[in-house]
Amino acid sequence: MDSYYHRNPRHHIEHRRHHFYWWVLIVAAILVYAGYCLFRPLPALAVVENQPSLTSHKTEASLPWPSGTESAIGTLGDGVLATSSPVQKPLPTASVAKLITALTILNKFPLSVNQQGPIITLTNADVQIFDKYYAEGGSLVKVTPGEQISEHQALEAMLLPSANNVADSLAIWAFGSLAEYRQAAQNEVSLLGLKHTTVGIDASGFDPSTTSTPSDLIQLGQAVMANPLLAQIVSEQTATVPVAGLVHNVNYTLGGDGMIGIKTGNSTQAGGNFLFAANYKLGDRVVTVLGAIMHAPTVVDAMHDSISLLDTAKPNFKVEPVVTSGQSIVSFSAPWLASPVPAKAQYSLSLPVWQGQQPPQKVTTKTLSSPSVFHPAETVAAGTKVGEVTVGRGPNSQTTTLIASAPIPSPSLTWRLTHPF
């Protein structure tokens, strides 16, 4: 008997065509699937950071905090390290406020170390400001109508002899009025992260409405000492300005015990305030110690107390190995890797640290990924540089290379085809 397809050849052709279409669809689906697996973006390798820890025991510093004061100790890189009390209330800053004035003005009219900047012509209004502070017993630098003084010289007159009149004149020159200056200065304070500092009604700090805490003053000192021009000015013993001539820095501690600045303050309401910076040599390293003393009986007491506070703080610093050569800092992992691949420090790093505290660590790594079959994932050989680790902040920070401790292969063709998601 003839088969059905022999008796119905048309149906036979349609059946073969039906099967052919199915095969085309199956092959097309396979090609689409393979294309998707091969061309789909793959994620970058995941990076897991291993925070190093110091072997030394962390202890609390015992410091001779000046009696009746609010005080703090820190460094240029680390910020606040210890305070005389866990909760500090804002106190009048007196002339330490002039550091805020200087930073705010330089934010609008920046200067490099060797620049004099714009020339300011003083007027009768500036003489009236002088007369006001003279009547109130404030610190002064003589001015005359028509006097021309550069921005650089005005900053020296404000910061070295602590001239209240120049602080207000400079602020009004830069911002048009003390009210406009106050708004700009409060913005500057916010940008610096000084959460417990309030800018008052003048630029000099003579009025007690400008208040801060020792911890905020340490942060303020960091910003001042990070500015090359201000760091230079606050370290000057003397300067020459128009009309007044030779002016002297009221900070008599300069040059002794490594002292390099930065600002005194004194008023009836504030008492004696002193924000200071000193370089302390520790082996082949130099630590810039910052200290703040507020509400001492007088500014002379504050400066005297700073020496004993500094001398007692110094032994709390010790050079510690914070990263050792071969230490695993990060690990790379990916779904196609059998196990994470550690990246190890190429060299050892040692830093001056305070009482065994762990310095901050910043890790940067290469992005190792495979966007498509045309750009296959990097096959990283063992010993390849895959990143860097930096420990510490500021001038004493150190960096070393991170090295892959084993090969980091790209995903195989089989893995790509069997892992669509």
pLDDT of residue 72: 96
Residue 103 is assigned to a structural domain of this protein: no
Looking at the fold, whether 42 and 5 belong to one and the same domain comes out as: no
Closest CA relative to residue 228, chosen from 100, 113, 393, 108: 113
Q: What is the mean pLDDT of residues 329-346?
A: 85
Closest CA relative to residue 203, chosen from 121, 148, 126, 143: 126
Residue 189 has pLDDT above 80, yes or no: yes
Task: Choose the weakest-confidence range: 101-105, 155-159, 295-299, 413-417.
Answer: 413-417
Domain that holds residue 367: 38-56+321-418
Residue 47 is assigned to a structural domain of this protein: yes
Place of tokens 């200065």: 185
Residue 400 is assigned to a structural domain of this protein: yes
Q: Which band of pLDDT confidence, cut at 50, 70 and 90, is reported for residue 51?
A: low
Count of H-run helices and E-run strands, the chain:
11, 19
Residue 407 is assigned to a structural domain of this protein: yes
Count structural domains, the chain.
Answer: 2
What letter does residue 398 receive in the DSSP assignment?
A: E
CA atoms within 13 A on the CB side of 328: 12
Looking at the fold, whether 337 and 363 belong to one and the same domain comes out as: yes
Task: Quote the percentage of the chain above a pLDDT of 90.
Answer: 59
Of 361 and 92, the one with more pLDDT: 92
Residue 180 is assigned to a structural domain of this protein: no
Q: Which band of pLDDT confidence, cut at 50, 70 and 90, is reported for residue 57?
A: very low
- R_g over Cα of the chain: 34
Q: Which band of pLDDT confidence, cut at 50, 70 and 90, is reported for residue 373?
A: very low
Q: Which band of pLDDT confidence, cut at 50, 70 and 90, is reported for residue 338?
A: confident
pTM: 0.81
Residue 44 has pLDDT above 70, yes or no: no
Task: Choose the weakest-confidence range: 12-16, 63-67, 368-372.
Answer: 368-372
Residue 101 has pLDDT above 50, yes or no: yes
Question: 246 pairs with which residues across the strands?
Answer: 240
Residue 127 is assigned to a structural domain of this protein: no
Looking at the fold, whether 51 and 27 belong to one and the same domain comes out as: no
Q: Which band of pLDDT confidence, cut at 50, 70 and 90, is reported for residue 370?
A: very low
Looking at the fold, whether 335 and 363 belong to one and the same domain comes out as: yes
Of 47 and 78, the one with more pLDDT: 78
Looking at the fold, whether 51 and 5 belong to one and the same domain comes out as: no
Q: Is the dihedral of CA 92, 98, 102, 105 positive or negative?
A: positive
The predicted-structure confidence for 86-99, as pLDDT tens digits, reads as follows 889 999 999 999 99
Task: Choose the weakest-confidence range: 32-36, 72-76, 124-128, 325-329.
Answer: 32-36
Q: What is the mean pLDDT of residues 182-208?
A: 97
Residue 56 has pLDDT above 60, yes or no: no
The predicted-structure confidence for 8-42, as pLDDT tens digits, reads as follows 566 656 656 666 777 878 787 777 777 776 676 67
Residue 88 is assigned to a structural domain of this protein: no
Span between the terminal Cα atoms of the chain, in Å:
54
Residue 142 is assigned to a structural domain of this protein: no
Looking at the fold, whether 332 and 368 belong to one and the same domain comes out as: yes
